[in-house]
């Protein structure tokens, strides 16, 4: 890939021949064994995490990028972004294997063909030091399994039955914990490269019926596979009961989240009883960082935080091919994502600045700070958020706000303050578990509170971008910064031959 450089120049003038400074843009951080993610999804809009294989390689589209600024002396910088992966140290306890637990389960208690139930404790379980478990608890569990196998109206696959038991155990810890099967695990791993998913349905409110009605079900989508059909009523998504006061965008955001996560929906056939179905957001669609230019101001729409968000943001500025006097960072509906990605993006705007505090159960509080040169430090910034901006989006907004580096506009963000990690059980299954809480760099709580905007925007949300631009124009620079691609060496040589 070609390297890049940026030039500061008056908005109305073309680039002249001037002295340049050269420094290497920080490359993408190395994937840690455990990567903390933050994210909002489902009704409870929760955060995710992903664990990268030790031998995984991530293609860095800007590994060879350079940035060159005019009117300054030459300064060399080091790539410090690898330090961001140190957040994995805080989560190292999640990687530890309990050697006292046998990896092969004893199924003898569930294979008795007689009506008599074997309630003896399997030796493997008896050796586990769990303290809270009792023979009576095991007896009850085995009895329920046996009852379902013998008496439930439909035949139940044992593997599905036990997967459901695992899911129930985890989801009752909190709304963020999940058991991930092969498909969900793969989708969640894919998220770090850019995927957000939904369950494959669309709904409209029908005033005559007084219900939200499913108007479209995508073929082979999670909803389709679970038997949800056009015409069904949608009563609830997660903990959110639906009524006429909700808007279509609200429903869409509740059903959408990080690919591979799950959400419970309550539906019914007209005139029949309600039914709860757990759906995984496996109908994924890649996310892109969009950049546009409005009167010299770069409007960057950042839909989620993936490993390459920082590089994609820079590439968007390059592709504008024009001087920039300010940046409007639109993080509406951003569900969060990779924590270190949010810190990496913050590093574009601030130098040597604390961004977020992370506290795990078995570790001291860790403070993550910006790394490397703040390339965009001189540009004024306005951040646009809404009630669906969560987790990593709140981390970035709160840090920019605390340092008075940006003006936050819109409405109060969601308020998501916990970190989940995905811990693989094998190559195809994993557990997503809450392993830490996070707060602002100054120690203020975000969970259940959100980030208060500096300016609350009124009217339809469709007008918010124009309101934010009007505010940013009062802060815009008189001269801009232009990002362009530096010609490759072979292009330079050809140009030199032509001149000669």
For the stretch 403-449, pLDDT in tens is: 999 999 999 999 988 888 888 999 889 998 988 888 999 899 998 89
**pTM, entire model:** 0.66
Rg (CA), the chain: 26
Cα(298)–Cα(292) distance, rounded to whole angstroms? Answer: 6
Question: Which residues of the chain, if any, have pLDDT below 50?
Answer: 1-5, 8-36, 40-119, 125, 497-500
Report the C-alpha gap between 140 and 133 in whole angstroms.
11
Instruction: Compute the distance between CA of residue 102 and CA of residue 13 in angstroms, rounded to an integer.
Output: 71
Please report the pLDDT score of residue 172 as a whole number: 86
In the prediction, which pLDDT does 191 show?
64
pLDDT at site 354 = 96
pLDDT at 123: 57
What DSSP state is assigned to residue 367?
E
Minimal CA–CA distance to 432: which of 94, 43, 162? 94
The whole-angstrom separation of Cα 53 and Cα 46 is 23
pLDDT of residue 370: 96
pLDDT digits (tens, 9 = 90+) for 452-485: 999 999 999 999 999 999 999 999 999 899 987 7
- The length of the chain is 500
Confidence (pLDDT) at 196: 75
HSE-up of residue 475 (Cα within 13 Å, Cβ side)? 17
Distance CA 407, CA 251 (A): 29
């Amino acid at each position: 890939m070609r390297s890049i450089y940026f030039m500061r120049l008056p908005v109305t003038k073309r680039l002249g021949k001037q002295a340049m400074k050269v420094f290497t843009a920080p490359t993408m951080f190395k994937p840690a064994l455990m990567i903390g993610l933050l994210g909002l999804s489902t009704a409870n809009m929760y955060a995710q995490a992903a664990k990268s294989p030790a031998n995984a390689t991530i293609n860095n589209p800007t590994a060879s990028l350079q940035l060159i600024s005019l009117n300054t002396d030459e300064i060399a910088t080091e790539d410090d972004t690898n330090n961001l992966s140190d957040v994995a140290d805080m989560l190292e306890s999640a990687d530890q294997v309990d050697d006292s637990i046998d990896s092969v389960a004893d199924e003898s208690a569930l294979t008795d063909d007689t009506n008599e139930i074997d309630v003896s404790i399997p030796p493997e379980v008896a050796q586990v030091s769990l303290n809270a478990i009792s023979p009576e608890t095991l007896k009850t569990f085995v009895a329920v399994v046996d009852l379902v196998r013998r008496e439930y109206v439909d035949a139940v696959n044992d593997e599905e039955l036990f997967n459901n038991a695992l899911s129930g155990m985890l989801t009752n810890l909190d709304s963020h914990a999940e058991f991930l099967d092969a498909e969900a695990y793969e989708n969640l791993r894919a998220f770090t490269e850019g995927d957000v998913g939904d369950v494959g349905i669309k709904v409209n409110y029908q005033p005559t019926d007084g219900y939200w009605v499913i108007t479209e079900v995508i073929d082979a989508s999670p909803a389709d596979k679970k038997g949800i059909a056009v015409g069904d009523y949608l009563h609830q998504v997660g903990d959110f009961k639906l009524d006429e006061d909700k808007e279509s965008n609200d429903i869409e955001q509740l059903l959408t989240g990080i690919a591979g996560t799950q959400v419970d929906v309550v539906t019914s056939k007209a005139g029949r009883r309600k039914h709860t179905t757990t759906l995984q957001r496996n109908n994924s669609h890649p996310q892109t960082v969009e950049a546009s230019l409005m009167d010299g101001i770069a409007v960057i729409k950042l839909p989620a935080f993936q490993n390459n968000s920082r590089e994609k943001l820079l590439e968007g500025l390059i592709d504008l091919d024009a001087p920039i006097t300010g940046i409007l960072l639109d993080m509406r509906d951003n569900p969060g994502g990779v924590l270190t990605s949010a810190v990496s993006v913050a590093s574009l705007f601030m130098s040597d600045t604390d961004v977020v505090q992370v506290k795990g159960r078995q570790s001291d509080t860790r403070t993550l700070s910006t790394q490397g040169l703040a390339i965009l430090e001189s540009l004024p910034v306005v951040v646009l958020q809404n009630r669906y901006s969560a987790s990593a989006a709140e981390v970035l907004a709160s840090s920019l706000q605390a340092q008075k580096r940006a003006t936050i506009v819109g409405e109060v963000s969601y308020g998501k303050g916990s970190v989940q990690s995905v811990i693989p059980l094998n190559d195809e299954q994993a557990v997503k578990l809450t392993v830490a809480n996070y707060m602002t760099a100054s120690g203020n709580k975000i969970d259940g509170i959100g980030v208060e905007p500096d300016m609350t925007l009124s009217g339809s949300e469709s007008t918010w971008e124009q309101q934010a631009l009007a505010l940013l124009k009062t802060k815009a620079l008189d001269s801009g910064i232009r990002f362009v691609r530096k010609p490759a060496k072979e292009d330079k040589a050809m140009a030199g031959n032509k001149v000669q």
